[in-house]
Structure 1
Amino acid sequence: MLKLSITDIIARIGREEPFHAVSDDYSFTLKIDSYTYFLCGAVHDGHQFRKELWDNCLHSEYDRWYEEDPCTRQMVQSNPMVIAGLDSRFEYDLNRAPDTAIYEDAWGKKLWDTPLPENQKQKSLSKHENFYKVVHALILKMEEKFGAAIVYDMHSYNWKRWDRPVPVVNLGTKNIDNDRFSAFAKAWRDTLETIILPHNIETTAGINDTFQGNGYFLKYITDHFDNTLVLATEFSKIYCDEYEYIIFPEVVTAIEEQLKLKLRNHATTFYNDFILKNGLLPN
């Protein structure tokens, strides 16, 4: 893996070079084995939390981990194009717009003992800005090369906080173009229901059951690119004990191994039934 500046990452994308890189501020990773029409994102996978923020933060490491999306990058890491955050959403949230990306409180609890100095905020917001510069360049290249693209926006959620049965996987589709893309969302939901999990966990999948897909990652791409579908895909944390701070690697591995084929097959259907049928592939 290379350590690259944002300028260098964008230049390599422009030249269609395959590469594995970490940004030079260590805020995100990008893996491109080959340029294709589908991208996997894991914006909340990160757990890093800048040391200068520690003493001022009123949330414990466990509090932060509980609200992050651990292992979501691992679930899709075998795919050819993967972008993933390394920093905790408690420093800045990549799934929020810049003006709300730095929390003042989080899940009903004040986050900072004293308000953050402006220079500390700007340090975080510059990383948020750089991430989206790369996202923009990447989707631009994908649409330029294939005419359209599909993005699997991977998240997780704490199912035990709900007081009703909730699906193992939820798709948020409120902010996609459902006139054009609802069939692909439903097909992805149906595909996810076929995942076989250890410990007799029944895989259920719903659409807009727990979350509606209101994240900035989805909205940014959808607002800037007409032919890119983003599927906000939330696994409930059946792959860990969210109260005891324990990951179940056998469950994570089962998801990862099955998504290798299922995700690619779904993306291929998108390519055949949307890109090719609509004549979007550039000459």
Structure 2
Amino acid sequence: MADNDASPAFTWVGDWSAQLVATAIHTGHDLRDEVRAAMALDEETRLREEDPFTDLIGAQCPARVVVHRSRFEVDLNRARDEAVYRRPEDAWDLEVWRDSPLPDDIARRSTEMHDAFYAELGERLDEVAARGPFVVYDVHSYNHRRDGEDAPEGPQRKNPEVNVGTGPLDRERWGAVVDVFIETLAGRGTAGGEIDVRENVRFEGAHLSRWVDERYEGRGIALALEFKKTYMDEWTGEPDHEQIDTLARALGQTVEPVLHALRVASGARDGGATR
């Protein structure tokens, strides 16, 4: 992939006429030229902290947005004022920049991408919300071999195959939709058996989930989906394409049951119709 200013920051994909959207906001690896020149962080470490291939995991969802820029340029899952990592403490104590803190003018231009992304996402989701309640699959991944390439994996009890973050969500209103998602995804067989899907074990959702909840109160449901990096080697970056395809199919097969549960839940509340 090209790390240059000509590469698009994000791409809108698919048919946005239905009530389910998938996002891959940390899958990107590209950097603007000035950001790349200022960066001290090595390529391998940067890739390890990004969410590679999450765009492929969400590829069978009907409507998607794929972000091509690295979270080390701007983190779209943080609030605007925290979206650019300025100092090591902003980025897991990593020395991101040759000169720290990052110069204000570079940070300002990175923040403009945060503004542009949420402005465009808002325009699109406003149209979706005008038709009725909707669901966002906010697709991410997480590391489970933090202690080193040859160290043991993190314990299974604390590291589900898929963590479903629902922290900001009104579970009393939309709990049935969450339950259907978890039950459907967990029941899909993979090469290693059924998928271990649990709620709020590692993560509860961050800025994008909160933004959906606040902007579309009573209409928007955001599920922050963290896939454990068993679909790749988190230290070398090598993907397991067969496992990625399996997870993509499994996630795609949740769409219709979730939309059905959404129609039932929204109809039970206010008699509304959801396509």
Normalising by structure 1, report the TM-score. 0.84
Aligned pair 1:137/2:123, yes or no? yes
Aligned pair 1:178/2:166, yes or no? no
Deviation at 1:246, TM superposition (A): 0.6
Name the residue aligned to 2:109.
Answer: 123
Q: 1:62 to 1:148 in 2, by over 3 A?
A: same
Deviation at 1:279, TM superposition (A): 1.6
Cα shift readout 1:153-176 (whole Å, capped 9, x = no counterpart): 111101223742211000111111
Q: 2:94 aligns with which of 92, 104, 109?
A: 109
Name the residue aligned to 2:134.
Answer: 149
2: CA distance between counterparts of 1:265 and 1:184? 9
Cα shift readout 1:217-267 (whole Å, capped 9, x = no counterpart): 111111111111101111100100111221111110111123222223222
Q: Which runs of 5+ in 1 are unaligned?
A: 1-23
8 Å Cα contact 1:169/1:192 also seen in 2: no
Runs of 4+ in 1 over 3 A off after TM superposition: none
2: CA distance between counterparts of 1:259 and 1:163? 24
Q: 1:158 aligns with which of 143, 148, 158?
A: 143
2: CA distance between counterparts of 1:258 and 1:205? 12
Q: Which runs of 5+ in 2 are unaligned?
A: 1-5, 147-152
Name the residue aligned to 1:223.
Answer: 214
Task: Give the partner amino acid of 1:139.
Answer: L
Cα shift readout 1:5-50 (whole Å, capped 9, x = no counterpart): xxxxxxxxxxxxxxxxxxx871101113241111111111111122
Q: Answer with 126-135 or 50-59: which moved more.
A: 50-59
8 Å Cα contact 2:9/2:69 also seen in 1: yes
Cα shift readout 1:130-154 (whole Å, capped 9, x = no counterpart): 1000111122111112x21111111
Q: 2:162 aligns with which of 158, 169, 181?
A: 169
Matched residues, number: 255
Identity score, percent: 29
- Taking only aligned residues, the RMSD between alpha carbons, in angstroms, comes to 1.8
Q: 1:126 to 1:64 in 2, by over 3 A?
A: same
Name the residue aligned to 1:265.
Answer: 257
8 Å Cα contact 2:142/2:227 also seen in 1: yes
2: CA distance between counterparts of 1:149 and 1:267? 8
